[in-house]
Amino acid sequence: MNHNLSRRSFLTSTATIILSQLLLGCSNTSGIPQILLLEDSIPAQLIGDFRKTLARGEKIDFKPNTQLRQIFTSLLNWQQSKKSDKKNNSLLDKIFKKSVDYPNLTTLGDSWLQSAIQENLIQPLLVDDLNGWQKLPFPWQKLVQRNDQGELAIDGKIWGAPYRWGSTVIAYRSDKLAKLNLIPQDWDDLWRPELGDRISLLDAPREVIGFTLKKLGYSYNIDNLDQISNLESELLALHKQAKLYSSDNYLQPLILGDTWMAVAWSGDVLPLMKRYSNIKFFIPKSGTSLWADIWVKPQLAKTPAKETDIENISTLITKKWINFCWQSKAAQQISLFTNGTSPIFLGTSPENLPKNLKNDVFLTSKVLNSDKSEFLLPLSKETAKQYESLWVKTRQVIND
């Protein structure tokens, strides 16, 4: 073996290997529609069932991603990649850009929707393609109807298709609270003196300020925080109760017993309860916030090589997959085998629910099925500044 291989020849050899792999990648994936989905938000069995509905010769790739933030970042990167195409002159750059797989459809959380629209990362869906649209309750339709600035608009375009939802809940250690003879029911339990330094809070101002508004009898989506004179004092009192703020590792202290209650997203709590019998949750009776996972169409979705393929791909992705997720059998699987619930069963009386969903608390809860619970809707610039200012001011206070 020649141990005097120069750096230049090494790089040349490496580039040759990369080029060949990229060329192979292009030839293997070209023309196959792709869906980028949030990991564990769709049961594997459901994907298998969908493949069986495809006509002969129709193919589709499903690629999971672990976080919604990563998916949004990917949309930004793809957009930037497209913009820089004209500036790339090297053969390697050109082939790399052509090898990028822009998905035809991707999961996005409702909280990212406004930014995705404003940044021109996604394109609207055609309601005529969505046979299951009428199955959605009105709040879910309203959530994705936006103008070009991402603001809610009754006559706006449809920017996404909700397929799964959940809520913010309060998780707690039943063994710890039993010793206090405490059965928590609402947000105001977070302010109990005996729980001082035993609370985990989400590092999210819309959630924390929002549930404080709920405690005080207001909506999550009021447009002027300054009109509530005791909001700041309530937040300061809550801050003194908190042991930590985190949106990623906030449940670990609950498992260890370092905290006894935690404001949490239902999708994080449900799998935990299967492993730890002393961890429970409740839906605050005064109402809570809702979240939704939705299908959106990237602005850079693959363009078919032939004009005749356009309707083919549109049918496969937009019509077939989205409508498939809204069918009763698929919606049941999403509700049973993921940590979220399909929206198409909302408003159905308990006796008319599918047998295997009659005990689903998210479908039978009167709190979640009423106007007490709300999506976190886009804020005006003025209100957003109020949130930011109040959040910073509250967090700067040092606990006594």
Q: What is residue 392's three-state secondary structure?
A: helix
* Residue 345 belongs to some domain of the structure: yes
266 with 336, same domain?
no
Residue 189: partners with Cβ closer than 8 Å, 6 or more residues away = 170, 182, 195, 261
Query: What is the average pLDDT across 218-241?
Result: 95
Structure confidence at residue 13 as a pLDDT band (50, 70, 90): very low
Q: How many structural domains compose the chain?
A: 2
102 with 42, same domain?
yes
The answer on pLDDT for 399 being more than 70 is no
89 with 152, same domain?
yes
pLDDT tens-digit series, residues 39-96: 999 999 999 999 999 888 778 889 999 899 999 998 988 888 776 655 555 555 555 4
37 with 130, same domain?
yes
How far is Cα 187 from Cα 283, in angstroms, rounded to an integer?
A: 9
Structure confidence at residue 103 as a pLDDT band (50, 70, 90): confident
Higher-confidence residue: 155 or 30? 155
* Residue 368 belongs to some domain of the structure: no
183 with 245, same domain?
yes
251: nearest Cα among 279, 209, 293, 223 = 279
* Residue 400 belongs to some domain of the structure: no
200 with 322, same domain?
no
Contact by Cβ (8 Å): 394, 208? no
| Residue recorded with tokens 């330094």 | 197
* Residue 20 belongs to some domain of the structure: yes
Backbone phi, then psi, for 298, in 5-degree steps?
A: -60, 145
* Residue 185 belongs to some domain of the structure: yes
Residue-level pLDDT at 94: 53
* Residue 4 belongs to some domain of the structure: no
How far is Cα 115 from Cα 109, in angstroms, rounded to an integer?
A: 11
Helix (H) or strand (E) holding 64: strand 61-65
Structure confidence at residue 7 as a pLDDT band (50, 70, 90): very low
pLDDT tens-digit series, residues 181-215: 999 999 999 999 999 999 999 999 999 999 999 99
156 with 277, same domain?
no
Q: To the nearest whole number, what is the mean pLDDT of the chain?
A: 85
190 with 150, same domain?
no
Higher-confidence residue: 301 or 378? 378
The answer on pLDDT for 239 being more than 90 is yes
259 with 111, same domain?
no
How far is Cα 400 from Cα 398, in angstroms, rounded to an integer?
A: 6
pLDDT tens-digit series, residues 135-162: 899 999 999 999 999 999 999 999 999 9
Q: And the tokens for 216?
A: 């005080």
Give the percent of the chain with pLDDT over 70: 82
273 with 387, same domain?
yes
Question: What's the CATH number where 247 sits?
Answer: 3.40.190.10
Q: Encode 206-231 in three state secondary structure.
A: HHHHHHHHHHCCCCCCCCCHHHCCCH
**What burial class does residue 274 get, using C-beta atoms within 10 Å of its C-beta: 0-12 exposed, 13-18 middle, 19+ buried?**
exposed
312 with 194, same domain?
no
Domain range holding 114?
12-165+291-357
How far is Cα 247 from Cα 361, in angstroms, rounded to an integer?
A: 24
113: nearest Cα among 326, 296, 290, 340 = 296
Instruction: Please give the C-alpha separations between residue 69 and each of 285, 361, 381, in angstroms, as whole numbers.
Output: 30, 28, 22
* Residue 100 belongs to some domain of the structure: yes
Query: What is the average pLDDT across 299-306?
Result: 60
157 with 201, same domain?
no
Helix (H) or strand (E) holding 114: helix 113-118
* Residue 362 belongs to some domain of the structure: no
